[in-house]
Amino acid sequence: MTPERLARIRAVLNKRQPDLTVLMERVHKPHNFSAILRSCDAVGVLEAHAIPAKHGIPNLEEAEDLSLKGKTFNETSGSAAKWVGLQLHADTASAFAHLKARGFQVLAAHFSERAVDYRQADYTRPTCILLGTEKWGVSPEAAELADAHILIPMVGMVQSLNVSVAAAVILFEAQRQRLQAGFYEQVRLAPEQYEAVLQSWMARHAQGQG
């Protein structure tokens, strides 16, 4: 590994946000799954969470684009899958139990009577953004367990955005608030976690070069 590449890896790791994450609840379309991971990487999310759809982590066996057939989300999310950890959960209840034990507030991207403008949420708190399946959105169970519901105001004919687009919009608002609060100006990871992630990233880089 060149000194320049190592410096780049450290610079990115220095801005990772261990207390900002997403929970994808049965997001099953590969392009959405991978696009959400790319947005996570772009704003500095260290680790994402997912409750797999019935058939598991998305693949592209049924992709409309024939050039993508047979590829997994790891192969379609570019380099994002290398740099954003992914923790899987068996079901909604266990995912929430895990996140709550770590002190996260869970904000469901969900249209309801108690939903507020996504910009009103405080993303400087440990925050998990809950994103539901493409067709049905957040499940009733997850909506009930969430600490709050957020929505992106729409003034056109459509009622909602694609799940990966919505994820990007909300994540970049979280980044804006955290930039304003100075969260990216200092390393947020504990020394032992920093070193562990650094070694993991270096190993992944080496594998990619092999």
Annotated binding site for S-adenosyl-L-methionine: 132-136, 152, 161
Q: Write down the H helix ranges in the chain.
A: 3-13, 30-43, 73-76, 80-83, 92-101, 140-145, 163-180, 191-209
Helix/strand/coil for 85: strand
Short-list 73, 24, 74, 20, CA closest to 47: 20
CA 163 to chain centre: 12
Sort strands 85-88 and 47-51 into parallel, antiparallel or unpaired: parallel
Q: What is the DSSP letter of 191?
A: H
Give the residue numbers of the binding site. Answer: 132-136, 152, 161
Question: What radius of gyration, in Å, describes the C-alpha atoms of the chain?
Answer: 17
Q: DSSP for 42-71?
A: HHTBSEEEEE-BTTBS-B-TT-SSGGGTT-
Residue type present at position 28: H
Give bridge partners of residue 24 from the DSSP assignment: 50, 131
Q: Note the maximum CA span of the chain.
A: 54
